[in-house]
């Protein structure tokens, strides 16, 4: 038994459910509570809910009705119930009949251990769409507030009246943020939160409103509003960063199908992801690297699978995924910059990162290295949380994000010394449990590569050992690293903050060097950030080959963060001048000022032309190109069900067809498809040209076997 209990039911257009729900609750309350009340909160229902509720009130004085003259939203209904309840404990339960109120005893049994008890639906009886939204919402609540609950929006909860009285006033009205707001504020005030499993039943009458688009948008807005308030983000700052995110999103998503890169690597990736989705053939390795016999991991292929499926197998889907991840990187770099160097530093960092031409280019296409900036930043930020804040749970994030870094590009190895150093400095013996969990998760994410190595005589391990440690590998000694450090840092700054302007890159490098010395003297230097830049730049400086832009992806966010930290400490007029000039330089070199490459459309047009000319018969395909391959065309053929066949010298009878289409992307004078040494052509055998066309700026040849 419980001494006193208030129960309330928020109701909107529940004429078919409210009477039964209240009657069942009365029967239960008479057996479990000495003093109780039932409150029906009618939120401006348009049906007969209000009339039924008032009739129930007349029949029993322990039933009260609160009427809203108009529909104010689920959150407002819960507020009315919470603040009008008069007993020590308050239970609220949705009035749609999807819960068995008798299970309130499960909550009462735990009331001595917790201040707020949150139900979670066992075998939830809702549509896949609503379940999907619930998972996404739970993920957002965890990301923004660190609150991990099985079912944050379950409409069956029990809370002490004391909690309602002591937490900051609940504000969410429309949308579903009210449940999360209650839990977040209770957690922040130090109240104990428990979870209780409850049975969920199908809705018998009425219509749910929680999955409506306007409700979802309002909920997200309320979430951001609460998050901003808890972190002292003022309205002007919130509007400013939303503006930066809007600009960043526009620069990355505008006509993305026309500006995205779609060449050989992208075509190959789409073929592998299609095989994963259609043939259920999970890859154990990712793409090969420029280092012989070494492969990346397959995590990026699995990332691509969802947007590919959503986009109905269009290559634009994964490109949009990368663009959205680029926008998320702007948000993350703002947050990290704000935490490390204040509001001004965070804003400057995010603004310059949002408009940097190189960053934009790598945020518009689907390719393994393009996700490195986000995951490298998350890796460094999480190990900083472990080191500086002693929040060891962030080790799990370090392990997950670093696995993505390593499977994006092999130069992600240069982050390993930084991670290891600050893991040691964080005194991991204080919480070895999270270290063990992190190692297990990291190894699980890297396991496909491990299985591949076990089956192939440790091919990747041997290649990596040669790459990093052996004298004839890819790195020179430390002397070369010292000599090339400033030029490499200048190259990085030129291609990122400097907007591809050489003079701007040199000036930024000077600011970073002297600014770092200045911050060091003032003892305001972030040791994790500076270690990230020094170790990464030094490693690239020892690299024997040319350092291309995408090699530096794991360092992209670092120089922006250091620049923001330095500039934010200067007088305001100097800040305005420096930022203004850099914004102008970056805008001048913005990639959108150039005509779209239309590689995706061009590849599709060429593939469609060949498909038509094949006449529905089996055919082979080859390309003659310096920077492209046949995968970009073959992918569309596979999706369309064309009878494209690979040539294989070991099974000529089965794989060589009667026609070979050759796409020559060279000038017509250099196209000689019958004598080119390409394997796809030589495997076809002696051939002769039977037709020729010019399509989308390339020459297409149809070959048949010589008699």
Residue 227: its pLDDT value, please?
Answer: 83
CA triple 181-229-383, angle to 5 deg: 90
Alpha-carbon distance of 238 to 335, in angstroms, equals 12
SS3 state of residue 116: strand
CA triple 195-198-200, angle to 5 deg: 135
SS3 state of residue 151: coil
Beta-carbon count within 10 A of 23 CB: 11
Q: Distances in Å between the alpha carbon of 210 and those of 75, 137, 605?
A: 11, 12, 43
- Local mean pLDDT, 10-residue blocks, the chain (707 residues): 90 88 91 92 90 92 91 88 93 85 92 92 76 78 82 88 90 76 91 91 57 69 82 88 96 95 93 93 83 81 94 96 96 96 95 97 94 97 95 93 94 94 88 91 91 78 68 69 93 96 96 94 90 95 86 96 95 94 95 93 96 94 89 94 76 75 91 88 90 94 90
Residue 113: its pLDDT value, please?
Answer: 93
Strand arrangement, sheet containing 660-664: 620-624, 660-664, 698-705, 687-695
End-to-end Cα distance, the chain: 96
Task: Give Cβ neighbours of residue 690 (< 8 Å, ≥ 6 apart).
Answer: 702, 703, 704
Alpha-carbon distance of 281 to 327, in angstroms, equals 31
Residue 392 carries which DSSP code? T
Alpha-carbon distance of 622 to 657, in angstroms, equals 13
Which residue shows structure tokens 């007088």?
Answer: 571
Residue 312: its pLDDT value, please?
Answer: 94
Residue 475: its pLDDT value, please?
Answer: 67
Task: Give Cβ neighbours of residue 434 (< 8 Å, ≥ 6 apart).
Answer: 392, 393, 395, 396
SS3 state of residue 693: strand
Residue 234: its pLDDT value, please?
Answer: 87
Residue 620: its pLDDT value, please?
Answer: 93
Residue 203: its pLDDT value, please?
Answer: 61
SS3 state of residue 472: coil
Find the helix or strand (DSSP H, E) in which 52 lies: helix 49-59
Residue 461: its pLDDT value, please?
Answer: 75
Residue 649: its pLDDT value, please?
Answer: 53
Number of residues written out for the chain = 707
Strand arrangement, sheet containing 89-93: 63-68, 33-43, 2-11, 89-93, 156-160, 116-122, 193-199
Of residues 390, 364, 352, 412, the one with CA closest to residue 557: 352
């Amino acid at each position: 038994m419980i001494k006193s209990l208030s129960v309330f039911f928020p109701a909107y257009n529940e004429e078919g459910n409210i009477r039964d729900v209240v009657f069942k609750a009365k029967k239960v309350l008479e057996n479990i509570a000495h003093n109780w009340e039932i409150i029906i909160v009618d939120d401006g229902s348009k049906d007969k809910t209000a009339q039924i509720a008032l009739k129930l009130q007349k029949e029993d004085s322990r039933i009260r009705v609160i009427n809203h003259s108009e529909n104010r939203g689920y959150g407002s209904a819960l507020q009315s119930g919470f603040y009008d309840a008069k007993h020590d404990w308050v239970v609220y339960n949705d009035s749609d009949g999807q819960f068995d109120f008798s299970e309130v005893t499960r909550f009462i049994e735990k009331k001595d251990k917790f201040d707020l008890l949150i139900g979670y639906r066992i075998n939830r009886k809702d549509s896949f769409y609503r379940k999907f939204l619930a998972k996404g919402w739970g993920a957002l609540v965890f990301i923004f507030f660190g609150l991990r609950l099985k079912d944050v929006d379950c409409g069956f909860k029990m809370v002490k009246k004391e909690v309602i009285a002591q937490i900051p006033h609940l504000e969410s009205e429309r949308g579903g943020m009210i449940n999360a707001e209650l839990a977040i504020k209770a957690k922040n005030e130090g109240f104990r939160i428990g979870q209780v499993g409850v049975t969920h039943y199908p809705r018998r009458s009425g219509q749910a409103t929680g999955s409506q688009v306007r409700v979802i948008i309002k909920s997200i807005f309320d979430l951001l509003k609460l998050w901003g308030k808890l972190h002292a983000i003022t309205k002007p700052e919130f509007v400013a960063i939303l503006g930066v995110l809007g600009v960043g999103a526009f620069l990355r998503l505008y006509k993305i199908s026309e500006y995205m890169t779609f060449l050989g690597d992208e075509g190959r990736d789409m073929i592998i992801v299609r095989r994963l989705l259609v043939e259920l053939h999970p890859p154990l390795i990712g793409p090969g690297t420029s280092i012989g016999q070494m492969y990346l991991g397959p995590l990026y292929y699995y990332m691509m699978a969802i947007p590919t499926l959503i986009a109905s197998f269009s290559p634009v889907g994964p490109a949009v995924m990368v663009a959205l991840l680029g926008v998320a990187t702007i948000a993350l770099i703002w947050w990290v910059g704000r935490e490390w160097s204040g509001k001004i530093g965070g804003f400057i960092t995010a603004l310059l990162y949002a408009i940097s031409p190189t960053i934009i280019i790598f945020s518009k296409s689907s390719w393994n290295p393009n996700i490195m900036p986000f995951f490298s930043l998350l890796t460094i930020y999480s190990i900083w949380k472990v080191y500086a804040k002693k929040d060891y749970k962030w080790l799990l994030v370090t392990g997950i994000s670093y696995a993505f870094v390593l499977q994006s590009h092999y130069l992600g190895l240069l982050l390993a010394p930084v991670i290891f150093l600050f893991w040691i400095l964080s005194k991991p013996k204080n919480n070895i449990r999270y270290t063990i969990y992190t190692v297990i998760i990291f190894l699980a994410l890297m396991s496909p590569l491990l299985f591949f190595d076990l089956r192939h005589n440790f091919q990747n391990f041997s290649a990596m050992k040669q790459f990093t440690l052996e004298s004839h590998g890819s790195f020179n000694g430390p002397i070369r690293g010292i000599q090339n450090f400033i030029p490499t840092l200048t190259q990085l700054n030129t291609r990122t903050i400097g907007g591809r302007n050489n003079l701007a890159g040199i000036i930024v490098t000077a600011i970073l060097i002297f600014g770092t010395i200045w911050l060091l003297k003032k003892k305001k230097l972030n040791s994790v950030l500076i270690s990230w830049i020094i170790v990464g730049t030094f490693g690239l400086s020892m690299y024997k080959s040319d350092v291309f832009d995408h090699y530096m992806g794991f360092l992209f966010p670092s120089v922006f963060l250091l620049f923001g930290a330095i500039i934010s400490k200067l007088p305001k007029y100097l800040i305005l001048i420096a930022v203004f000039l850099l914004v102008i330089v970056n805008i001048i070199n913005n990639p959108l000022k150039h005509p779209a490459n239309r590689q995706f459309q061009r590849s599709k047009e060429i593939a469609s032309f060949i498909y038509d000319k094949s006449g529905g018969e089996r055919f082979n395909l080859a390309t003659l190109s310096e920077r492209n391959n046949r995968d970009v065309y073959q992918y569309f053929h596979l999706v369309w069900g064309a009878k494209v066949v690979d040539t294989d010298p070991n099974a000529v009878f089965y794989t060589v067809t009667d026609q070979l289409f050759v796409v020559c992307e060279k000038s017509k004078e250099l196209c000689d498809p019958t004598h080119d040494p390409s394997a796809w052509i030589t495997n076809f055998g002696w051939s002769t040209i039977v037709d020729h066309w010019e399509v989308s700026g390339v020459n297409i040849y149809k070959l048949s076997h010589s008699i």
